[in-house]
Amino acid sequence: MKIPRLLRAATAVLLALGMTSVGTAAAFADDAVPPADPASQSAPPAESSDPPADPAPDPSAQPPASDPAPDSSDPADDATTDDATTDDATTDDATNAEDTGAAPATDTAPAMKPAARLTARSLVADPTPYVLLAWQLPCGVADPWCPPGQNLVYHLDLASPSLDALDASIVGTCSDWQVDLENDSATTTSLIAAGILTGPNTPPEDHAYGALGANVNPWKYVDNPDCNVGTSVTPAATATDQSCQQNANLVGGSIQVSLMTGVTYTITDSSAAVVPFDSTTGLTGLLPPGNYSVSFVLDTGYTTVVPSPIPLTIAAYTGPCGVSVTPAATATDQDCLRSVLLVDGHIQVSILTGVHYTITDSTATVVAYDTTTGVTAGLAPGAYSVAFTLDAGYVTAVTSPIPLTITAFGGACAPISVTPAATSTPETCVAGVFLTGGSIQLALMAGVTYTITDSSAAVVPFDPATGLAGPLAPGAYSVAFSLDPLYTTGVVSPIGLFISSYDGPCDLPTDALVTPLVSYTPPTCTTGGSYTLGNDLGIPAAVTWMVNGSAHSAGTFPASTGSTVTIEAAPNSPGYGFNPGQQVVWTHTFTMIGSGCALTLAFTGSTPQQLGWIAAVLTVSGLLVMRIRARMHSRRPAA
């Protein structure tokens, strides 16, 4: 702890009066506690195994002249009065020999007594302001920093500075040592707790620079002669993690120690409970997952570079254990689709977690399958084998491999044979005057799809119901076709066609046009009606006539009163033709014009007796008329 300001002021006064030496100033500087007079201060209590608190220096314990000398760059070599005023003086990491190795000690280490540090309230000086540390060097003084480092074996609180207080415990042993004098501070307390030095000032140290005098380093080496009877040993221990045995049983882990002469092991778990092990094999029983510690002690005459304890961890098993699965595979036989297409078989495996399949054919060739669906591509008929392996923790009652057979289709299976066809019709002349294009006729059938193109590769449409395309201009055409699956043909696609042009005139001269002429004469009291058939050319053969459905010639023909005639005309082609829009059908009914023939018409259909009576009546009527006229004539006056 820091010295109160009052004590610091007193120290400054003493320094000013010249009443203190550099050593005294160092003892009182900053954190340091002035050493007590050995003559007036009793030695600190020590356990029965501790060496004297401040023994006399042992000449035999001093490093020989050949031992590694401290680095000349050590701050202690340059110590000044100012440096001596604080116990926090910088430690030269490069010159300190520090060790993290945990070599076993051959003697019991003196216990470090609790420090009685000066506090601001009590103003009482720490009676043991120093701590002496003894580090075992695994590789000796010649190589003080060999891995794994220096191991702290002894530490001792001191009232007076000394590098020899632990000589009784380290001189004459089978190991070499480095001894450090440290200030009793929080840094030193942390250093002791670490118990290992892996490099200079690692972990940080608080060397008591100046405590042993100006230019005297606060450390030394103890180079012991090699033991003639010493034996180097390598204690070891390994852990086996918790596991799943036979993929079904969760089994605890274990610890195996290497049994050897001179080494005594103690295994403890995380609760410090001792774990027994077989003294013949060094193997523990089954242990649950967790952290374990394997400490050891060496018999006299044995050395090691292995630190004690050895930490071990038994990891818990985290995978599946005893998960039951049922690998499976099925074969689909070769088949005939729609009785015309032969289809290969295939194999389907059940995709399961923890299961890995290998499919092979009869020649041991591996067959691939889809890892998502488990389905192979098409396979030929034959024998196949589906082997499988399981991940750790999975079990099954299914035997590997699974034998499968793809059976060949036994019936007839052939594609449907078709004969695509197309024909062309040339250009024609209709009625001797109308030039009509040609056409293409396709033979429509199931399984065939046609495409017609002309010489410019333009697609030509056709009627999908009849297969007829046209009218089409003369020229070359191509009829390509494709077949649906399951169909076959011996016809080569495309089919070439040619529509030829009409070879000859297809027109009529103007003098060959004829106009049919039809006229009627109505019936009278004395004559019947009639109709006349002719044409404007006056050539009877130019027009063909039909009257009431029967062929008829040109001319005039009678028609009875009340009759109806239907007349049809047609040009006598190819020599003659009608003008477009010419009337070619006429219908006419013959009726009496006026009523002057009513009496006469009344006689029509009378019997002879009726006619006689009528004649008599008429005769009498006539005589009466004549008589009346004669009487009228006789009464006229004479002229």
Chain mean pLDDT for the chain:
78
pLDDT at 495 over 80: yes
pLDDT at 118 over 90: no
pLDDT at residue 629 in the model: 53
Residue 352 neighbours by CB under 8 Å, 6+ apart = 325, 326, 327
Cα–Cα nearest to 539, from 556, 517, 568:
517
Percent of the chain surpassing pLDDT 90? 53
Range from 66-80, 203-217, 429-443, 576-590 that averages highest in pLDDT: 203-217
pLDDT at 519 over 80: yes
Least confident window among 62-71, 326-335, 509-518, 584-593: 62-71
pLDDT at 160 over 90: yes
pLDDT category of residue 430 using cuts at 50, 70 and 90 = confident
Cβ(605)–Cβ(590) below 8 Å: no
Alpha-carbon distance of 58 to 163, in angstroms, equals 10
Residues in the chain: 639
Average pLDDT in the 177-185 region?
96
Least confident window among 44-53, 419-428, 481-490, 625-634: 44-53
Average pLDDT in the 584-598 region?
78
pLDDT at 129 over 90: yes
pLDDT at residue 620 in the model: 54
Q: Which uninterrupted H or E stretch holds 25?
A: helix 22-28
pLDDT at 76 over 90: no
**How confident is the model over 596-607, as pLDDT tens digits?**
564 444 444 444
pLDDT at 122 over 60: no
- Cα→Cα distances 224→68, 140, 174, 232, 272, Å: 14, 9, 6, 16, 36
Cα–Cα nearest to 100, from 164, 192, 172:
192
More confident residue, 93 or 391: 391
Average pLDDT in the 177-196 region?
95
**How confident is the model over 542-553, as pLDDT tens digits?**
899 999 988 889
pLDDT at residue 639 in the model: 41
Cα–Cα nearest to 390, from 349, 348, 353:
353
pLDDT at residue 136 in the model: 93
Least confident window among 81-85, 381-385, 449-453: 81-85
Q: Which residues pair with 530 in a beta bridge?
A: 521, 558
pLDDT at 229 over 60: no
More confident residue, 248 or 529: 529
pLDDT at residue 596 in the model: 52
pLDDT category of residue 86 using cuts at 50, 70 and 90 = very low
Query: Three-state DSSP class for 633?
Result: helix
Alpha-carbon distance of 567 to 581, in angstroms, equals 17
Percent of the chain surpassing pLDDT 70? 72
pLDDT category of residue 338 using cuts at 50, 70 and 90 = confident
pLDDT at residue 527 in the model: 85
More confident residue, 95 or 353: 353
Cβ(157)–Cβ(202) below 8 Å: no
- DSSP 8-state secondary structure symbol assigned to residue 317: P
Least confident window among 68-72, 209-213, 594-598: 68-72
Range from 65-79, 245-259, 276-290, 621-635 that averages highest in pLDDT: 276-290
More confident residue, 11 or 252: 252
Average pLDDT in the 573-591 region?
87
Alpha-carbon distance of 452 to 454, in angstroms, equals 7
- AA identity, residue 354: G
pLDDT at 108 over 60: no
**How confident is the model over 280-329, as pLDDT tens digits?**
999 999 999 999 999 999 998 888 999 999 999 999 998 898 899 999 99
Least confident window among 2-6, 526-530, 535-539: 2-6
Chain centre distance of CA 31: 68
476: left (phi over 0), alpha (psi -120 to 50) or beta: beta
88: left (phi over 0), alpha (psi -120 to 50) or beta: alpha
**How confident is the model over 145-157, as pLDDT tens digits?**
998 889 999 999 9
pLDDT category of residue 236 using cuts at 50, 70 and 90 = very high
More confident residue, 499 or 31: 499
